[in-house]
Amino acid sequence: MAKVVFIGAGSFGFTRNLVRDLLTFDNLSNAEIALVDINKQRLNFARRACQKLVDQGGYKATVTATTQRRDALKGADAVCVTILRGATTVWQHDILIPKKYGIDTNVGDTRGPSGIFRALRTIPEMVAIARDMEQLCPRAIMLNYTNPMAMLCHAMQLQTDIQLTGLCHSVQGTAAMIEGWLGLKPGQMDYQCAGINHMAWYTRLEHNGKDLYPKLKKVVSTNKDVYNHEQVRNEMFLALGSYVTESSGHNSEYSWWFRKRPDLIKKYCTSGTGWNPGHHAYILKQYQLREKSWQKSVQDWLDQDEVPLGRGHEYAASIISAYMGGDIFEFNGNVSNDGLIDNLPQGACVEVPVVASRKGFEAIRIGNIPAPCAMLTGLSAQIEMMAVEGCLKGDAELVYQAIAHDPLTAAKLSLGEARQMTREMFRKNEKWLPQFKKVNL
C-alpha cells in the first residue's frame, strides 16, 4: 500500500485533483493519503473533499489530516508539495515595490525581483521539508509544484540527497495548444522539450516523422486569431525559431523585449486572447479575488451529489504509480543539469524529459538547445543560481547582483536604482528572512 503525503494540502483545488488522479490507478487506489497544512480550516476542507472522492469511487484508500508534517512523513513513498510561504499580503509587496521603480510585473512568482524574493522566503522551508524526508522517508520521491520552481528545486538539490523533481503543466498544456492550432488530435504530436522552468523550448515538433515547425510558422504568421492568442510567445517564436512553454504573460517578464516601455506593454501585454496576456499583477489579483470567495466555492463542490472521478492532465499520479511498480512514465521534470544540456550552466536546475520507474527518476540527455534560445535561458539560469547561493549563504549582496542582472530590471534601472529597490524589498521582507543576519546594501 502506497503512502502519499500532500504538504500544503489546503491548496484545495490542486490537492483534490491530484488525489482524484491517484485513485484512478489500480496500484494506488488503496493508498494512504496523508494531508498536511498549517491552516486547520483549509485542511479540514481538503480532508472532506478527498474522503468524498474515496467514498464516491468505492476506493479502499484512507485519508488522514494533520498540521504536523513530520508525523505524516513517516514511511511515505511520495510527497507532493504545494505551499505558499507568506500570504498574498506579502506577495503584493514583491510586485508593488518594483512597480514604484518602473518594473511592471505580470505574475512575479518565478524570476525577476519578485520571483527572487519569493524564493528567499520559501527556500528555507522547502529545504527543511527535504531534510525531514531524509530522516523520516529517505526512499520517498518529492514532486514539487511550488514556485519559483527552478530556484526551489536547485536549493534542495544542493542541500539534500532526496530524489526530487519539479512539475509544471506548461509543457503538456502548450503542446495541446499547438496541436489545436495545427489541426491535430490531442496526443498526435511527438516532441522534445528542454530548457529551464517556464523557459523550456520545443527542440523537436513532429507528426508521423514530419517536422511541424514550418507549418507552425506559417500558421502563426498568417492566422491573426492564432497570433493574437499568444502575442508575446509568438513574437519570440518568429524571432528565435523555437516555441517556448510558458504563457505570454509570464514570458513577458523574463526578457528585455516586452515590458520596458508603456507602449510595448499596451501592444503585446494587454489585448491577447490567451488566458494570461500580461496584465499587471494578473495572478495576484486572481488570488485576492479567490480569497474572498474560496470557502463558498469549496462548499459548493462538497455539496454536489456526484463529483467527477476521471483522470486529469497533471503528471504526479502517473509518476507515483510508476515509482510504485506501475507502467514506466516519461514526463518533463526539473532536475539538476548533470551533463544533460551542454550549453546551459552545469548544476543549474533544468527542465528536461525524465523517465519515472520503480528505480526513481532517470533524466534524458539533450545535448545543446538552439543557440538563440540558450542565450536568454542561460542568463536566467545563472541568475537563479546566484539568487539561491545568496539565500543559502545569507548574502544580500549576491541577491542584489542577481536582481541587477535580471533582463527586465536591467532594461529599466541603473545599478544604483536596482540596489535601492533591493534594499527596500529586504526591509519589507525582513521578518520572513531570518537567514540574512545583516543586510548592508
Residue 289: per-residue pLDDT: 86
Spatial CA neighbour of 311 closest among 28, 47, 34: 28
User: Do residues 260 and 241 lie in contact, with contact meaning Cβ atoms separated by under 8 Å?
Assistant: no
Spatial CA neighbour of 105 closest among 271, 233, 288, 283: 283
How many Å apart are CA 154 and CA 416, to the nearest integer?
29
pLDDT 10s per residue in the chain (441 long)?
A: 999 999 999 988 899 999 999 999 999 999 999 999 999 999 999 999 999 999 999 999 999 999 999 999 999 999 999 999 988 888 899 999 999 999 999 999 999 999 999 999 999 999 999 999 999 999 999 999 999 999 999 999 999 999 999 999 999 999 999 999 999 999 999 999 999 999 999 999 999 999 999 999 999 999 999 999 999 999 999 999 999 999 999 999 999 999 999 999 999 999 999 999 999 999 999 988 888 888 998 999 999 999 999 999 899 999 999 999 999 999 999 999 999 999 999 999 999 999 999 999 999 999 999 999 999 999 999 999 999 999 999 999 999 999 999 999 999 999 999 999 999 999 999 999 999 998 999
How many Å apart are CA 162 and CA 149, to the nearest integer?
16
Provide the residue type at 361 as one letter: F
Residue 294: per-residue pLDDT: 87
DSSP letter string over 104-122? --S--SSSHHHHHHHHHHH
How many Å apart are CA 417 and CA 413, to the nearest integer?
6
Cell output for 356:
519515472
Partners of residue 177 on adjacent β-strands: none
How many Å apart are CA 54 and CA 32, to the nearest integer?
11
332-358: pLDDT as tens digits: 999 999 999 999 999 999 999 999 999
221-239: pLDDT as tens digits: 999 999 999 999 999 999 9
Residue with cell 523550448: 201
- Helical axes 213-222 vs 170-181, angle rounded to 10°: 70
Any idea which fold 3-94+107-166 has? Rossmann fold (3.40.50)
207 is catalytic: no
Provide CB contacts within 8 A for 350, sequence distance 6+: 194, 195, 196, 334, 335, 336, 337, 340, 341, 344, 381
Q: 93, 169, 279, 280: which one is catalytic? A: 169
- Rounded to two decimals, the pTM is 0.97
How many Å apart are CA 53 and CA 308, to the nearest integer?
9
How many Å apart are CA 293 and CA 339, to the nearest integer?
47
Residue 308: per-residue pLDDT: 93
Cell output for 167:
512539475
Residue 375: per-residue pLDDT: 98
How many Å apart are CA 398 and CA 382, to the nearest integer?
12
What residue spans define the domains of the chain? 3-94+107-166
